Each structure stands twice: as structure tokens, then as C-alpha cells.
Amino acid sequence: MDSTFTRRGFLHGTASAATGLSLTAQLPATAQPLQPVVVSSANGLRATQKAMDLMHKGADTLAAVVAGVNIVEDDPNDNSVGYGGLPNEDGEVELDASVMHGPTKRAGAVAALRNIKNPSQVAKLVMERTDHLLLSGEGALRFALAHGFKKENLLTDASRMVWLRWKETLSTRDDWGPGLSILEDDELAQTPEQQQLLDRIIANRPTGTINCLALNERGDISGTTTTSGLAFKIPGRIGDSPLIGCGLFVDNAVGAAGSTGRGEECIKINGAHTVVEMMRRGASPTAACLEAVKRVADNYNGNLKKLSQFNIHFYALNKKGEYGAAALFGYVGPNRKRSQYAVHNGRENKLLDSAYLYEAPLKPTS
């Protein structure tokens, strides 16, 4: 392991969280009303605000978080979920989502859903209207259509252009490329700034996803995770987002957790369930998230060369209204973007820095 990249981020993150290890996750029967809290991934500031507004009006926690993430699912400028999400390798947008309702201990999910931009709503209907938990592919689409959802083309022009550029960079020995001449009105022609953005997306395939968790004043907890998945994935690939215990887990007596990032790595450790179980044993939300990240790293024996190929992020809140998040890498991308998450604590809505295991991934060699 390169000694330049140590686990000082882990030690830094756990120093402030260590005191939480002695905390119990149960809410005493005589406790006063809690301060509502909504936690989300960094792309969820609008979601946390919407969910909190609805809870202040008396909305159920699950209805609140689903309404929150719908804002992001509907946004064509967010290429990580819903409408405008980056497609699979065939140019088709496939969406995954799950929901969990703490008070009733119920869940629902959909996977590889096409042509429906709000998979979180469909997942909620699976929970409410069936005795199943997960519907996928064509079956999920037929279920959505039966409940009044409309088929839509989810591939925006911007996402389509990114997909086409990706295809053109796959090989110099196939027929995909700029051709023998470039016309001035080529629809794929980009400014230097746009081309740099395309290059960054192609070099570091986005994994998408928004996770949102909420606790109300009565101590009821719900959560949802929704995604367009790994950009340019093999059709039919399913990540952690629709898998209960992986991309989302809620236990109304303990807390909730969710994940974004490389779904395969989360699946291997049952990430969200692992975080909640750590909180059940007394860990603070931050310490619990760091433990899950550490288990991901341990699967590669801490090999930074391999770990640098992806990132993963866990989010959590417990029954007391405490919250936290942790990432594999604290700073990512060419501009060393800080790993953050969104929190509305009932008073203000803001981004907070996540704890992390490693400061930054190894720089790619050329």
C-alpha cells in the first residue's frame, strides 16, 4: 500500500464519533418528541427540504422522502437518476429503486425499470398494493402502467450525447467514431469546456443514485434509494439500490441507512444492513458507516490501486435523531471534490463533510 494514502481520514472521522459507541440505539419510552431529521446524498438538498416541509405538515415519513427524491428523478439535468439518467450500453435508461417504511416494517422495490421516470413511486406501490417485495424488468413496467404511470422516453439529448461519445471511445478498430469529416453543424460538436466534462464522465463512469432517510418527531423512520445505476452498464445489471439490506435498510427501533456509489461492493457486504446492525450494537451513525466502508476496503486487503477504481458512500441516522455519513475516499475527481452529504436538522438545510477511510484515490497512471 502506498504509505502516502493512509487511514488518517478514518482515524479523523472516528475520533469525533467514538463517543457514540456507548450510545444505545433505543428510544426510551418516556422520551420527549424528537427533532425531525432528513438525511440524503449530496445531490439531495432539494429532497431534504421537501421532505422536511412535508413532515412539518404531518406527512408520513415515507411519503415525505419519496416526494423529496421525485424532485431529482424529474430533473433532466441530474444524470444520476430518473429522467436524464445515463443509459446502459444499448442507450436505454434502466432505473432501480427501493422503499422501506419503518412503522409497518414493510418494503417494496423495482429493478431494471424502463420508460417510467419515478421508480421510487412504483416501488412504494409494490409495497402497498402487492404481497411481493421486488418486481423487475418488463413485469415492473406492466405493473407501473396498470397503475396509471405513462411511458416516457427517459433519454435526454444531453445524456444521449454522452452515451454516443462513450461508444466512440470504446475502440479505434470499430466503426464508431467521428467519421472522415466533421461538419460544422455536427450535433455532437462541443465547446472545450463541454468536451472536458464529457471526458471526465467517460473516464469515471457515474454510478448515480440518491438516498434519502427521514425521522419524524414520533420516532418513525422511513427511507428510499433510487438510481439510474452504473452508466453504460450491461443491460439488466442490477446494483444495490433495489436490494433491501444493501442500498437501503430501515429498522424503526434502531435507525436507517443507505448507500450510493459502486453497488456491487455494497451488495457484497450487505452495506445498509451492516450499518444498522452496527448502530444496534451502540455505534454512532458515523462510526457505523465507517465500519461498512472498512469492510469494502478489506475485501481488497486495502489495495489502493484496486480501490481507486470506484468510490462508495454510506449514510445513516438513528432513533435519537443523530446522523452521519462516510465515504471510501474523502476527496475525489480532478478538482478534489469533497465527499459530502445533505442534512436538514429541522432548523437548517445544508451540506456536511463526510467522514472517510482514505483521503484520496491514487492518481491514474498514463
Give the position of cell 466503426.
175
Classify residue 17 by burial, with Cβ atoms within 10 Å: 0-12, 13-18, 19+.
Answer: buried
b/e 42-77 (16+ beta carbons within 10 angstroms → b): bbbbbbbbbbbbbbeeebbbbbbbbbbbbbbbebee
Rounded Cα distance between 22 and 297, Å, is: 25
Helix axes of 61-73 and 119-129: crossing angle, nearest 10 degrees:
150
Q: Which of 87, 94, 78 is nearest to 160 (CA)?
A: 87
Q: What does each C-alpha distance from 62 to 10, 104, 169, 221, 222 come to in angstroms? A: 32, 11, 42, 8, 5
Q: Which of 324, 259, 234 is nearest to 37 (CA)?
A: 324
**Strands 106-113 and 134-136, how do they pair?**
parallel
Helix axes of 192-203 and 157-169: crossing angle, nearest 10 degrees:
70
Contact 47, 212 (CB under 8 A): yes
Which residues are known catalytic residues? 209
